Amino acid sequence: MKNATNVAIKRKIAAQRQVVPAPEPASESPASAYFFEETNDRSETHTLSVVVDNEPGVLARVIGLFAGRGYNIESLTVSETEHSKHISRITIVTTGTPMVISQIKNQLARLVPVHKVTDLTAANNRPIERELALVKVAGTGNARVEALRLADAFQATVIDATVGHFIFEVTGRSTKIEQFISVMAPLGLVEVCRTGIAAISRRPEAG
């Protein structure tokens, strides 16, 4: 009886001493149910033509749309183009990925006073773009002579002059304006006023 009891005790101890298998390493967390596609879209600069009713608050609504959604406006010009119909045209230069540009156009088109939104840069259709700038340059002596010489090379017009300064009017593409300003900088550039880009489509129909 004693031997049977000892055998039972030994079996119980042996069972307790069995090696407990190590827990399996935790599996990697399951992948997200949402797949975010990594895009390599680069920002593009587009010129948009927006035809609107010429009424109070329209420009504020257009600018508010850009500001509220964090869209950037690089240039903006606006003026009434059809007096009898009280229609104005807003020309906006903005930068963004193709998806952002599409969102901007769609959201502009939803505004009530907007009649038409045209992407003048779409389909590689480069529009005719011009900008006007007034550039004040102060200087005497050789700097004054050099400013006049360079202004002539850029076809800039002197619209005001004193013994101490010139005010030049220069018209052209934005790159030309930038170049003119950069060459005038070391000659006594004082102040610059730019109108922003005015653009029109090359196509025969209205854009």
Query: Which residue type is seen at 4?
Result: A
C-alpha dist (Å) from residue 145 to 149, 163, 166, 186: 6, 12, 11, 13
- What is the predicted pLDDT for the residue at 157? 97
pLDDT in tens, 120-135: 998 667 789 999 999 9
Domains 44-124 and 128-200 share a fold: yes
Res. 202 pLDDT band, cuts 50 70 90: confident
Phi, psi of 188 (to 5 degrees): 115, 35
In this prediction, residues 125-153 reach a mean pLDDT of 93
pLDDT in tens, 9-34: 556 555 555 544 555 555 444 443 33
Instruction: Say yes or no to pLDDT of 184 above 80.
Output: yes
pLDDT in tens, 99-115: 999 999 999 999 989 99
Rounded Cα gap, residues 185 and 77, in angstroms: 26
- What is the predicted pLDDT for the residue at 12? 57
Class of domain 44-124: alpha beta
pTM (2 decimals)? 0.73
128-200, CATH topology level: Alpha-Beta Plaits (3.30.70)
Instruction: Say yes or no to pLDDT of 38 above 80.
Output: no
CB 47 within 8 A of CB 121: yes
Higher pLDDT, 204 or 70: 70
Considering only CA atoms, give the Rg of the chain: 35
What are the sequence ranges of the domains in the chain? 44-124, 128-200
pLDDT in tens, 55-83: 999 999 999 999 998 999 999 999 999 99
- What is the predicted pLDDT for the residue at 204? 77
